[in-house]
Amino acid sequence: MIKVENLVYTYPSNEAPTLKGLNFEIKNGEVFGFLGPSGSGKSTAQKVLYKILTGFSGKVEVAGKDLTKWDNSYFEKIGVGFELPNHYMKLTGKENLELFASFYPSGKSRSVESLFEMVDLSDAMNKTVESYSKGMKMRLNFIRAIQHDPDILFFDEPTSGLDPVNAHKIKEHILSLKEAGKTIFVTTHSMETADHICDRVAFIVEGQLVATDTPQNLKHQYGREAVNVELGNGQSQEFPLAQIGDNREFLNFIKEREVKRMETLDATLEEVFIEVTGKSLKG
Ligand SMILES: Nc1ncnc2c1ncn2[C@@H]1O[C@H](COP(=O)(O)OP(=O)(O)OP(=O)(O)O)[C@@H](O)[C@H]1O
């Protein structure tokens, strides 16, 4: 569990704070996503939480303990999938994983072979990482973050650089970690990833959270209370959702025509973002 209250962070070289009073909570068994344009403070917030950046103000509690009170055992509790993989290029994938496993108490790490198999990298396990594609490095990055079975996981753009099949697999692995009760904090530009895996998302703009809720509630809240009926001939018509069962026009419309599809007009997460911030996610 992560609890953040009024988190303010200013880089030493800057005058103005980058994080301007963030409040959020991530429960065990929850995937929480930060969405926002480039430079809005997503990585900075994660870096505070994984103790790369110190000197913040506000209250941050992780696993029931004030973040500033944690000693180095904190790093056994957390796993981090950095946005830009930083592997040892001249070592093989296996050697990279074994090197990082050696930093943790023995016995807790999962078997290296099973991890490579999990992300379909078994064939590349004994090849040097310099020969890996970006997607392969990202998959190695993922298994490195989880190999010591941490309770709290941070993933910065976990699906970036992955083809759709591998992106899907990583998302499913993240959902299995959630099922196992892990606390998971994701930052992403991918609305599809956020929608698929996040229980709740927070939109961050210029260091402030402007909306926090489940993707479903946000899409509903910012959508239109209407139903779109699409016909077999390609035509479509909208009807208000209120008292739709008493709407004669609607009832006759669906009775007299060949209906192909009916859907409520929820917004997409990207539309929600543009609505709440006035900015495009591509930043
Ligand atoms: N080391 C640093 N020193 C000074 N300012 C920094 C430093 N790192 C980041 N910043 C500034 O802090 C702000 C937030 O950066 P951050 O990397 O947290 O954004 P982000 O939302 O993760 O962006 P992206 O989506 O591009 O990864 C930016 O204005 C950035 O220029």
Can you tell me the ipTM of this complex?
A: 0.97
Instruction: State yes or no: pLDDT of 182 exceeds 70.
Output: yes
33 Cα–ligand 1 center, Å = 17
Percent residues over pLDDT 70 in the chain: 97
Whether the CB-CB separation of 49 and 67 falls below 8 Å is answered with yes
DSSP letter (8 states) at residue 200: E
CA-based torsion, 173, 177, 180, 185: positive or negative: negative
Residues whose beta carbon lies within 6 Å of some atom of ligand 1: 11, 13-14, 18, 36, 38-44
Which band of pLDDT confidence, cut at 50, 70 and 90, is reported for residue 280? low
Listed in sequence order, the DSSP H helices in the chain are 42-49, 74-77, 93-101, 112-118, 134-146, 164-179, 191-197, 215-221, 248-256, 269-277
pLDDT over 50 (residue 225): yes
pLDDT at 74: 94
Ligand 1 atom closest to Cα of residue 39: 19
d(CA 164, CA 253): 39
Given a contact cutoff of 8 angstroms between Cβ atoms, the answer to whether 178 and 152 are in contact is: no
Q: Which of 19, 22, 38, 44 to mutate to test the pocket of ligand 1 (most atoms within 8 A of CB)?
A: 44
Instruction: Look at residue 283 in the predicted model and tell me its pLDDT.
Output: 45
In this structure, whether the domain defined by 2-215 belongs to CATH 3.40.640.10 is answered with no
Out of 8, 9, 11, 19, mutate this one to test ligand 1's pocket (max ligand atoms within 8 Å of CB): namely 11
CA 29 to chain centre: 14
Give the CB-side neighbour count of residue 283, counting CA atoms within 13 A: 15
Q: In what order do the strands lie in the sheet with 236-240?
A: 236-240, 224-231, 259-265
Q: What is the mean pLDDT of residues 153-177?
A: 93
**C-alpha separations of 24 from 2, 6, 59 in Å:** 8, 9, 11
| Digit-coded pLDDT (tens) for 39-93 | 999 999 999 999 999 999 999 999 999 999 999 999 999 999 988 778 999 999 9
Structure tokens at 25: 């909570």
